[in-house]
Structure 1
């Protein structure tokens, strides 16, 4: 007999499979003899010198494989050259596109290896001619995988600024306003680096509402921010008297020098068409269809869900409890997507976790407050990229088996939730979801199931 947990994982996996990065590229990139169709646009391959493929992201390996598959071996061998920065556990051999391990698994910060790879990408883009086509493959995680500090700024300087702004509660817009000014790639940097040729970007979105200037910090999107804007953000959030460890003095000096100049963004010499080829909605609809095929009555909670992870977990738990109090013959499924955030508690204790594990743990904490153990319901939350925080899990699920294990081991889920230590809890009770790299990234999927009265 198929368990509720198996059904939840099947529904979640259907969403992940629907945004398989190679599949999305092949659907968007099609070769017809001497013509290349890119999302309906026809580009002649006759007389084309090179197809230069560059980019970065957690989906980069699959996207690159999809490009080689779509183009065919003859074009790949004769015209393609490429370099993609990916997490090191995504590296595999391809025919002509080099996959470069730019950061370790689970460490979503820029590294020296990422800078090295970014230099190679810039060299390729800077070598473009009028007879070249540049395909840029962009997906979530690209910001950390495309580090290229401007002259005078080191990687350590950029890391200090980024960490300070994040700890200070800066919005993603404020963060990007500053780091784009300190980068040779972000904010249209790849586009500005191209002297000639044509550029097309295939984008898999990991951001709510798919803003092109936010996904991977918009390397192919013209940015209208200025150094003065960046200075205003830094002054408002941390102040000019911030210690050197928070905002290195060289950052102030470089931005001040930029602001005293023309203070206008450099205009690119070519244009780029940016095409969204996959997002959370794509995954969500596939999961919904899978749930319906399994006999569930489905309620779509939307693909743009944001908020605090623990609060979303409680909301899903409450939906299940309400459905269980009014049982019907058909099983119920509540499903949504998006990207919640975690409120970090102050603690000196060791902890591990991620936003998806926190969603599931918070749901379990709510259920543990009931007078009787739960039955026939589950909450599962998982990152479509196979990574959830700095852990080897994609997410976690909480159901009656999880609850029984917690009771048997005398574990209090609330104590783990209080210090954001969700991984440790689920590791002990068997609730972790581990997939390894999925080679895609469209945020998260949350699934809550309640068995029907006749189950």
Structure 2
């Protein structure tokens, strides 16, 4: 089974390599005859032009490096920039500053992130009509670009967000409040920019690539709706909302015209990589390794337990139809959700590990020979752990049985990490400097060809 496990890892890595952020950005931009070309957009360098690169996200370091790699020295000498990234993604670039806006593995806004966002707003506000603003946005950008309105602290906003989540607020309700309580979300970054032209390069980590949702749409022309945010808070948590937040929202209602200052910058948004990019590359790699891909789907969502169990059952059903020489592959991309169980017991895991553990629960009840299932986050992170995800096959299941590990005890409280750590099933890559959600690889061969 180790051969197939290694094949699954190679296929998964091919999907991740295809969305390597430096490559995606350098492929999206060309310099031709003193013009920067991005799709149908053109920008011509003038004698007094400046270039400013700003943004945020887990892929921010690689995206910034990609821009520096394609700019000629004359252009680079006129370039400055500031990009908010996780602390473990900070490196030294020639002209663009990478700012540690949050600790590694902690996907929450911080004061350091707020300070970095303030510097970004100062930079883009200092630009002029002959200048170009290049914005790089990727997964995790929303938490890395915190900018509460005047009078509201980051702590107040974070506490309110957690209260809303615990109250059962929908993602649309949460986003309504987040946009109204941010200086950059919902087009705020675009409104603050004074450059003659803004080009935003986006690596999507959201199903369907909705521009207003990726990192909460900082460069998308949308209208904040403070009245809608007030309605959400009045419905969900009126007693827990601080007076400072009520005051900020009411002030926006009365000064809507000031809040929605006109956009003076010519702008465009470009998706340079997404989940489909990763799935397509993984599909090609599986074919190169001799597997027949019978299913290849991107942008899937659903419950992690249900996805894992369904995938495992499909593998069992497909194996029963195989000839002795056939090898098949199922590739899926997207982002499942985990329903957290109520427990006082310690637990650790992530959605990809939960998917694979749910699959293992089904496989342990059958002869799992010839089946390998892997799921991993393309960013190299899976929940608050140091793993990207996990893998399971018959050999690893046998190790679990030898150690008397009961899968359901781990699965029922979302405690997947210790299980896979004990059997050697964790997928660890470190940060990949990209993020297009998750990628799952399932390999199936006959029992006779399982070794």
In the superposition, the TM-score normalised over structure 1's length comes to 0.95
Q: Could you say which residue in structure 2 is the equivalent of 1:440? A: 434
Instruction: Give 1:247-286 correspondences, 5 Å limit.
Output: 247-262=241-256, 265-286=260-281
Q: Distance in 2 between matches of 1:281 and 1:93?
A: 31
**2:419 is the alignment partner of 1:425:** yes
**2:348 is the alignment partner of 1:349:** no
Q: Could you say which residue in structure 2 is the equivalent of 1:65? A: 65
**2:23 is the alignment partner of 1:23:** yes
**2:298 is the alignment partner of 1:298:** no
- Aligned residues of 2:164 and 2:237 also touching (Cα < 8 A): no
**2:158 is the alignment partner of 1:124:** no
Q: Could you say which residue in structure 1 is the equivalent of 2:375? A: 381
**2:100 is the alignment partner of 1:101:** yes
Q: Distance in 2 between matches of 1:223 and 1:164?
A: 25
- Aligned residues of 1:209 and 1:304 also touching (Cα < 8 A): yes
- Aligned residues of 1:327 and 1:453 also touching (Cα < 8 A): no
Q: Distance in 1 between matches of 2:182 and 2:397?
A: 48
RMSD: 1.5
Q: Could you say which residue in structure 1 is the equivalent of 2:402? A: 408
Which stretch shows the higher mean deviation, 157-166 or 91-100? 157-166
- Aligned residues of 1:47 and 1:131 also touching (Cα < 8 A): no
The CA deviation at 1:355 is 0.3
- Aligned residues of 2:16 and 2:278 also touching (Cα < 8 A): yes
The CA deviation at 1:169 is 2.9
Q: Which ranges in structure 2 are unaligned for 5 or more consecutive residues?
A: none
Q: 2:312 aligns with which of 307, 310, 317?
A: 317
Q: Distance in 2 between matches of 1:310 and 1:362?
A: 5
Q: Could you say which residue in structure 2 is the equivalent of 1:366? A: 362
Q: Which ranges in structure 1 are unaligned for 5 or more consecutive residues?
A: none
Q: Could you say which residue in structure 2 is the equivalent of 1:144? A: 143
Secondary structure of 2:298's aligned partner: coil
The CA deviation at 1:230 is 0.7
Secondary structure of 2:297's aligned partner: coil
Q: Could you say which residue in structure 2 is the equivalent of 1:164? A: 163
Q: Could you say which residue in structure 1 is the equivalent of 2:178? A: 179
How far does the alpha carbon of each residue in 1:246-292 deviate from its partner, in whole angstroms, 9 at most, with x for none?
Answer: x2232122212322444773332223200000000000000001111
Q: Could you say which residue in structure 2 is the equivalent of 1:82? A: 81
Q: Distance in 2 between matches of 1:120 and 1:257?
A: 25
The CA deviation at 1:232 is 1.6
Q: Distance in 1 between matches of 2:387 and 2:233?
A: 35
Q: 1:307 aligns with which of 302, 321, 336?
A: 302
- Aligned residues of 2:26 and 2:69 also touching (Cα < 8 A): yes
Which stretch shows the higher mean deviation, 411-420 or 24-33? 24-33
Q: Distance in 1 between matches of 2:224 and 2:252?
A: 12
Q: Distance in 2 between matches of 1:453 and 1:33?
A: 60
Q: Distance in 1 between matches of 2:446 and 2:36?
A: 50
**2:333 is the alignment partner of 1:337:** yes
Q: Distance in 2 between matches of 1:15 and 1:419?
A: 30
Distance change in 2, residues 1:48/1:425 (3 Å): farther
How far does the alpha carbon of each residue in 1:149-196 deviate from its partner, in whole angstroms, 9 at most, with x for none?
Answer: 110100001101211222233232221111111111111111111234
